[in-house]
Amino acid sequence: MPNPIFSLQQGSTPLLISIPHMGTRLDPQIAANFTQVAGFVDDTDWHLDRLYAFARDAGASFLTPVYSRYVIDLNRPPDDENLYPGQDTTGLCPVDTFNKEPLYLAGREPSAQEKARRRKIFWEPYHSALEAELQRIKDKHGYAVLWEAHSIRSQISRFFPGRLTDFNFGTANDTSAHPQLCTALASQIEQDGQFTAAANGRFKGGYITRQYGKPAEHIHAVQLELTQIAYMQETRPFAYDPDKADKVTPLLEQALETALQYARR
């Protein structure tokens, strides 16, 4: 029977691709408290399973959630600590969209008890599966690479001024992976010349990257925050653009291979 909380496809290589913001389902009990705008799930990391399909075909493991980040954000700490002190961000159980539109009807925001309930039902199973799959991969290959796949609209004034860099690689300031890896990944993109890139800039890696990346234990974690304009339509209906995506895919293939090469060292 399929797991109602997440999908895990175990592969044959040392690579695990986690896409924690790809879910779009809204739990009916929670959705009863949502505003109409929440139903659009605008802040989803759209189509990343399709964009990274080549990696699945090549033997990577894939972990994806069923439910939307509006239910609970799997890339936030369980205590809801702000990972970017001094900067605006959304929380473990977001109360507004990236455009600061309210997700909840007045007075129906989740209580501390409700947040704890969601952690147990949605957050903990995903993280247990993530940890177990990394361990399985490491036991089999001697090392593991965790690739945190994310995407975001290229312009969101709440979080950054102007247009965002296209490829935003994060390794928690070089602590979640080989210390030279993040810079090497950004350099590859810049040398190709089609897109802009940054290493440990605005997006250094969320909770998953920081929690599970342990290079001293041969587990290397990288987050890539990719601008959606690079491969899709950024406004509703958020259509996938195959012509754009075809330019991105070879660069992703190269980046994943580079990550594996550094992890093998």
How far are the Cα atoms of 22, 47, 245, 249 from residue 50, in angstroms, in the given order?
11, 5, 9, 10
* pLDDT score at 88: 84
Q: What are phi and psi of 116, to 5 degrees?
A: -65, -40
- The pLDDT tens digits of the residues spanning 102-133 come to 999 999 999 999 999 999 999 999 999 999 99
Considering the chain, what is the average pLDDT of its residues? 96
The residue whose two tokens read 């109602």 is: 4
Q: What is the set of domains in the chain, with CATH numbers?
A: 6-264 (3.40.630.40)
Quote the CA–CA distance of 169 and 81 in Å, as a whole number.
Answer: 22
Mind listing the pLDDT tens digit for each residue in 202-211? 999 999 999 9
Q: How wide is the angle at C-alpha 54 spanned by C-alphas 184 and 40, nearest 5°?
A: 95
How far apart, in whole angstroms, are the C-alpha atoms of residue 160 and residue 162? 7
Q: How far, in whole angstroms, is CA 113 from its chain's centroid?
A: 26
Owner of token pair 């900067």:
87
Residue with tokens 């001697």: 142
- Residue 3 pLDDT: 75
Task: Tell me the backbone φ, ψ of residue 186, rounded to 5 degrees.
Answer: -65, -40
Cross-strand bridge partners of residue 221: 146
CA distances from residue 140 to 12, 15, 143 in whole angstroms, order as listed: 9, 11, 8
CA atoms within 13 A on the CB side of 224: 29
Q: What is the model's pLDDT at position 87?
A: 82
* Percent with pLDDT over 70 in the chain: 99
The mean pLDDT of 139-166, rounded to a whole number, is 97
Q: Is the backbone of residue 86 left (phi > 0), alpha (psi -120 to 50) or beta?
A: left
Position 138, amino acid = K
Asked if residue 1 has pLDDT above 70, the reply is: no
Under 8 Å between Cβ of 82 and 76: no
> pLDDT band at residue 86, thresholds of 50, 70 and 90?
confident
10-40 pLDDT, tens digit each? 999 999 999 999 999 999 999 999 999 999 9
| 110 closest CA partner among 32, 2, 172 | 32
2, pLDDT greater than 90: no
Per-residue tokens: 83:
């990972």
Residues 46-65: pLDDT tens digits? 999 999 999 999 999 999 99
Confidence of residue 236 (pLDDT cuts 50, 70, 90): very high
